[in-house]
Structure 1
């Protein structure tokens, strides 16, 4: 090997904390200097410390990750040594060896735990006796709690059930190489069992695919399973089986070790008051379908994780480590032809705070999230645009939403002045295109559609973004324009409104231009009143109001009501239930303008989204 600076690392299987538990040791020497002669490197697993991460309530580990990065002084970050390991569930305990501080570089190690309610919780004697169980891939899982008799079925072969009455009961058996996992599950189903628990015959957690079983199949550790076997053989103790298909809460916990891993106990046991709480609500474009998602930590980028199953619509309480940079993604319709994905930007949460997050909430409109690798930018005379056509409404996240590329109509056009310089008939992006030099005005026009038989709301969107300084980004210093359809009936007749906003003087935002085109059916009237210093308590807001046809059910997007409650001033919310209102309200303590819609109609309202004006600072 050539002389230089090296990092030596390894992962070693070790014994766990108990005789029937398995472990993994993470060993790393971030800095080894190789000069003229040989160098000795010792990675000692016996000195590794147990990672103890515990939630404030009973949980099971959903995902665990150990991730570290080594940066060498004077070298490009692309030469960094990075190693991330998402641990399989067959490891029970994780250990990390202590490290020394680097002299010629920077080292950081981060640990990540996702915890949730146990998928299958086993207990007896009124909860005084509990057993950990690991669900097996391929087995069925519902949401129910039952108390059932327990029977013992030897090694689980079909012949073992000849003298066992397993119908309606929980079957406990011992793993054996003589019987395949799928054969064990099929025999239990054929005997009428309601659940199957397989006790491991060696140390560690057991994970085996059981095919497609119609009953829950889980495994128990070898030593703890001996008690289960004794219960089953006695036949006098009932076992309570609680199934939880989609956890009602999660804990996303991280711990960073910058500089070095200390030679001390690596313990993280926060209370709820030590964490940040998120009340998450997941809307659905349909009546309820399978979804997936995850919250990724971004101490190190990119982040490595595995999506977890979810059910939308639904609600969930989520606890996270404060101060950590998080990004989230969720996808609906994962089992259909048009999965709809939503990605957030970077978010951090403060200790003790409570935040409400809405996902896939109406009204859906184009948006832009900094989480995408392709983002609105300009370098010299090369410009990039990336507008996600199907972003949902949110008061505290910059969301980008998209459908599979090329599966639905999407058309992006870029204009410099009145000249079209780029035309993409397939998607909403323009990447690294050469544009005329100088700060010239640009305009991005996006049209997108999606089928109404799959998505109940927001089946068509039209957006115009104006960059008057030619910087190729939506956060331009000057005004951005958002175009929204006036109402459901007039959307088919081409009726629309265009609002242009710019920074006004005397700490208030003013409309610089309002253009209306309306059909005879949409008799719109407009009013404009100044806002106060806070930007939300004025006597009115610029609005375009229309009254849809009578007899149509009222649909009110939640975000609009929240905005209007603080910004309309003097207008009764009940009155707004009876009308369609397009409003633009500066959000307090931000430089954002929220465009919201309260409407009544069988079709959806479409809006342009959030437009940022950095020169405007409410309350300053």
Structure 2
């Protein structure tokens, strides 16, 4: 099950002994990085904020912004509201589209739009035009309904403000995996260290400095000949330190792309605990070859 951001937690009932009839695997997989957007008031840390796609992040660092509530986020909601230079809270709804909410906030001079989701979970949504790599001139974060409504109540108080931390580029990523075979233990906490992690120094050198793109490290379970995961928007210029699980039942493969320009896929890889290696993306081709993460090319008549 690929839950992404749709669920807060999953539960599994421990087994009392290893299965002897049949066969099953239970795997847990996490990608952890520095939160792109952190939001807090005097009384509450809002821990489930997700920066959305197609937006312009606030500069790196921390800032305190006045906070106001802008209802449904339509242009009429700003008619008698001073939102210039402030963070605005709006409710996601079926009457005002994501792009229209962003356009109204930009026209009102808002610096940040915080959207209260109207369905379970959070998820990633795009606030720029479809199929466009040009972001809107606004930062946008999405909150779950429960936390969002809590923020709405605080935004309606006189003199409300919010402290915002922005990290447009995470300096690190943890790609973690643990698989259990024919058992579900009662204690599933795994502490990361040099005994079960490898370090990968990543360099991304997109051929277009202003281009958006993405990357992901897929896990290949031993019980399936297909990778699990999906590409995620990530910065494609700069350096990053990755820490990756080793051993167990899975191997890894990593892919990266720059929008409209290039897509690259690395081979299946298993890492040795305590090791350090490097990956360079979008560099000049030195030795092209066919790797083992896609089907081999075939020819049928005149078609290759």
TM-score range, shorter chain: 0.7 to 0.9
Q: Does 1:320 align with 2:244?
A: yes
Contact 1:150 / 1:235 at 8 angstroms: preserved in 2? no
| TM-score (ref. length: structure 1) | 0.41
Structure 1 residue 323, shift from structure 2 partner: 1.3
Q: RMSD of the alignment, in Å? A: 3.3
Instruction: Name the CA distance, whole Å, in 2 between partners of 1:370 and 1:349.
Output: 20
Structure 1 residue 211, shift from structure 2 partner: 4.8
Flag the 1:311–1:196 CA change in 2: closer, same or farther, 3 A: closer
Match of 2:255 among 330, 344, 368: 330
Instruction: Name the CA distance, whole Å, in 2 between partners of 1:207 and 1:283.
Output: 23
Equivalent residues in 2 for 1:108-507, closer than 5 Å: 108-125=25-42, 129-131=44-46, 132-141=48-57, 143-145=59-61, 146-200=63-117, 204-205=121-122, 209-212=126-129, 213-262=136-185, 264-265=186-187, 267-273=188-194, 275-284=196-205, 286=207, 288=209, 289-300=211-222, 301-324=225-248, 325-336=250-261, 339-350=262-273, 353-360=274-281, 364-367=286-289, 369-371=291-293, 373-374=295-296
DSSP 3-state at the match of 2:176: strand
Instruction: Name the CA distance, whole Å, in 2 between partners of 1:315 and 1:107.
Output: 39
Flag the 1:293–1:216 CA change in 2: closer, same or farther, 3 A: same
Larger radius of gyration: 1
Contact 1:246 / 1:309 at 8 angstroms: preserved in 2? no
Instruction: Name the CA distance, whole Å, in 2 between partners of 1:258 and 1:272.
Output: 22
| TM-score (ref. length: structure 2) | 0.78
Contact 2:200 / 2:244 at 8 angstroms: preserved in 1? no
Structure 1 residue 367, shift from structure 2 partner: 4.3
Structure with the higher fraction of residues in strand conformation: 1
Structure 1 residue 144, shift from structure 2 partner: 2.8
Q: Which runs of 5+ in 1 are unaligned?
A: 1-84, 375-385, 387-404, 406-425, 428-620
> Higher relative CO (CA 8 A, sep ≥ 6), structure 1 or 2?
2
Contact 2:247 / 2:270 at 8 angstroms: preserved in 1? no
Instruction: Name the CA distance, whole Å, in 2 between partners of 1:94 and 1:290.
Output: 32
Flag the 1:222–1:367 CA change in 2: closer, same or farther, 3 A: closer
Q: Does 1:94 align with 2:25?
A: no
Structure 1 residue 172, shift from structure 2 partner: 1.3
Q: Which runs of 5+ in 2 are unaligned?
A: 130-135
